[in-house]
Structure 1
Amino acid sequence: MREGRQRLDKWLWFARFARTRTLAARLVSDGFVRVNGARSDNPAKALGIGDVVTVAVAHATLAVRVTDLGTRRGPAEEAKGLYEALSEG
Structure 2
Amino acid sequence: MTDKELRRLSRSELLEMLIAQTEENSQLKIRLEQAEAQLRDRRIEIDKAGSLAEAALQRCLSGGGGRGAAVSGKYPADQQPAG
Same fold by TM-score greater than 0.5: no
Q: Which has the higher strand share?
A: 1
For Structure 1 versus Structure 2, the TM-score category normalised by the shorter chain is: under 0.3
Structure index of larger Rg: 2
Q: Could you tell me the TM-score, scaled by structure 2's length?
A: 0.20
Q: Could you tell me the TM-score, scaled by structure 1's length?
A: 0.19
